[in-house]
Chain A
Amino acid sequence: MISFDNVSKYYPSKKGRQYVFKEVNIQIPVDNNIGVLGPNGVGKSTLIRMMGGTDIPNFGQIHSNKKISWPLGLQGGLQSSMSARENTRFVARIHGYRNTKEIEDKVAEFAGIGDYFNEPVKTYSSGMRSKVTFGLATAFDFNFDVLLIDELRAVGDANFKQKSTAILEERYKNKTIIMVSHSMTELKKFCQAGIVIKNQNVVFHHDIKDAIQDYEETYVTNQ
């Protein structure tokens, strides 16, 4: 269960406060995989970032007794001046690992980007970034209860999609995945439940089909 307690989030803009969420009160059950739906700029990433503890609400609180991952997305997470190996080392260290070699090898193997693993992340394509990001989060032998994925799989090649699908289906079978995606087939494949962001609020649907329908009725104009 992830509880939102009167959560508001705004970003300052030239026209004043731009509210993304306004007084959200909801309890999101995390026993099923959840797809997050909404058009660009509605606050999907903000929601994921707040759940992962990367961003904090301006008002209210989010709490959960589950072990939630950091948000796995193309933005943030990897420092672009450091190589993938240095990023991996960093993440291992902040999680209290003293011997980082094992994890470095695991991530390098998953990413499969060869010598680029030792080059700065800023030289990577977005597909390579997504491989490293995903490999990094799944290399640790502690598993998260909830894995947050923000449009990460869309940019990967077939090989990466296959490998990551295997991990999601096997290792995260009894865990929860919360996933942002614009691909309805992907959402239907992985998720049972859905969240639609509308009117600066979070709407939870127990069935992903209802969520997709709600999303299409609210946002998709040319049906």
Chain B
Amino acid sequence: MTKVSLSTGVTPKRTSWQIMCNTVHALLMRELKTRFGANRLGYFWALAEPVMAASVLAILFTFIGRSSLAGVPVALFIFSGMLPFQFFSKLLPQLSAAVQANKALLSYKQVAAIDPIITRVVIESATFIVVYIIILSAMAWLGLDVFPNDLLALIAASVLLLILGVGLGLLLCSAVTFWKDTGKVVQIVMRPMFFISGIFFTATMVPTQYWYLFSWNPIFHILELSRDAFFITYTTPIGDWRFVSEISLGTFCLGLMTFKLCRHRLIAR
């Protein structure tokens, strides 16, 4: 424990690591307030959004007479793709606007440009995990067998998704300083991604000769691998750990480098 002065609780001399922790904590408090606190419904929407989106798809599938996909109950199948995809598609705009949204606070030298990024990664990841657990618990309560077959592999796939998202987020954050409409392009690109990332289908449902349409897409790979890990009945024919790892780590490194190179642009007024 560091020595704390009695009157105020301020630590006399902090290490860089402590300063960063204090800063991220302060940013976390500030961000939580604007994200969830502005209207107290914030927490509700975090849960309701994926549930509603997945319900629409589940109802559609029920109408066309399917009760299971790849040997898995429809609802569970869709959640296992919808949740990671939503996490990813939320992370990108959040990260690309992170520095801009906290610009005035960067005038304190304790606050580095990377701190708002770290803060938002923490918030998004925590929300993702909590929502995931709540939804799975609810489904378990409804009598479905929800425990992932290979939990470790599921976590690994999610971490790769996180790394990819952070890498792309860092790149976008730098790109925004050159062209402020970058966010709009991302939105446009993410829309078709919803249909080609395998949220409501797997590779086994696609004829082999069309696999090349999906095999370039790291998100598709990650969702395939997640389902492979989640369901004992499903084995992915496409999902490639090596490909996803390379893309994710490559993007992450590129993102960090660009962020470092653009630091002058990021803090400029």
Which A residues have a C-beta under 8 Å from some C-beta of B? 11-12, 49, 52-56, 58, 70-71, 75-82, 86, 89-91, 93-99, 102-103, 141-142
Please give, as numbers and ranges, the residues of chain B lying within 8 Å of A81 by CB-CB distance.
Answer: 34
Give the number of residues in B that approach A within 8 Å (Cβ atoms). 33
Q: Let me know if B108 and A93 touch, CB within 8 A.
A: no
User: Closest residue of chain A to B103, judged by CB?
Assistant: A76
Which B residues from 242 to 264 make CB contacts under 8 A with A? 263-264
Q: Let me know if B104 and A79 touch, CB within 8 A.
A: yes
Listed by A's residue number, 27 A-B pairs whose Cβ atoms lie within 8 Å are A12-B265, A52-B107, A52-B109, A54-B267, A55-B267, A55-B268, A58-B264, A75-B269, A76-B103, A76-B106, A76-B269, A78-B104, A79-B30, A89-B26, A93-B26, A94-B23, A94-B26, A95-B10, A95-B22, A95-B110, A96-B11, A97-B10, A103-B8, A141-B7, A141-B8, A141-B10, A142-B10
- Interface membership of B180, Cβ < 8 A: no
In the docked arrangement, what's the CA distance between A23 and B14, Å?
A: 33
Q: Let me know if A71 and B107 touch, CB within 8 A.
A: yes
In the docked arrangement, what's the CA distance between A71 and B49, Å?
A: 42
Known: A12-B265, A82-B30, A94-B110. 10 other contacts (CB 8 A): A52-B107, A77-B107, A79-B30, A81-B34, A90-B105, A94-B22, A94-B23, A94-B108, A96-B14, A103-B8
Assuming A11-B268, A96-B18, A141-B8, is B30 touching A90 (CB within 8 A)?
yes
In the docked arrangement, what's the CA distance between A18 and B269, Å?
A: 15
Partner of A54, one of B18, B30, B109: B109
Which B residues have a C-beta under 8 Å from some C-beta of A? 7-11, 14, 18-19, 22-23, 25-27, 29-30, 33-34, 102-111, 263-265, 267-269
Please give, as numbers and ranges, the residues of chain B lying within 8 Å of A95 by CB-CB distance.
Answer: 10, 22, 110
Shortest beta-carbon distance, B85 to chain A, in Å? Answer: 29
Q: Let me know if A70 and B109 touch, CB within 8 A.
A: yes
In the docked arrangement, what's the CA distance between A61 and B102, Å?
A: 25
Partner of B107, one of A11, A76, A89: A76
In the docked arrangement, what's the CA distance between A58 and B268, Å?
A: 11
Q: Which A-B residue pairs are the 3 nearest by beta carbons?
A: A53-B109, A93-B26, A76-B107
Please give, as numbers and ranges, the residues of chain B lying within 8 Å of A70 by CB-CB distance.
Answer: 107-109
Please give, as numbers and ranges, the residues of chain B lying within 8 Å of A96 by CB-CB distance.
Answer: 10-11, 14, 18-19, 22
Q: Let me know if B102 and A79 touch, CB within 8 A.
A: yes
Residue from A11, A52, A96, A103 with most neighbouring chain B CB atoms (10 Å): A96
In the docked arrangement, what's the CA distance between A90 and B109, Å?
A: 13
Q: Let me know if A93 and B25 touch, CB within 8 A.
A: yes
Q: Let me know if B107 and A49 touch, CB within 8 A.
A: yes
Shortest beta-carbon distance, A141 to chain B, in Å? Answer: 6
Shortest beta-carbon distance, A60 to chain B, in Å? Answer: 13
Q: Let me know if B30 and A86 touch, CB within 8 A.
A: yes
Please give, as numbers and ranges, the residues of chain B lying within 8 Å of A98 by CB-CB distance.
Answer: 9
Please give, as numbers and ranges, the residues of chain A lying within 8 Å of B27 by CB-CB distance.
Answer: 90
Please give, as numbers and ranges, the residues of chain A lying within 8 Å of B111 by CB-CB distance.
Answer: 94
Shortest beta-carbon distance, A140 to chain B, in Å? Answer: 8
Please give, as numbers and ranges, the residues of chain A lying within 8 Å of B14 by CB-CB distance.
Answer: 96
In the docked arrangement, what's the CA distance between A108 and B228, Å?
A: 57
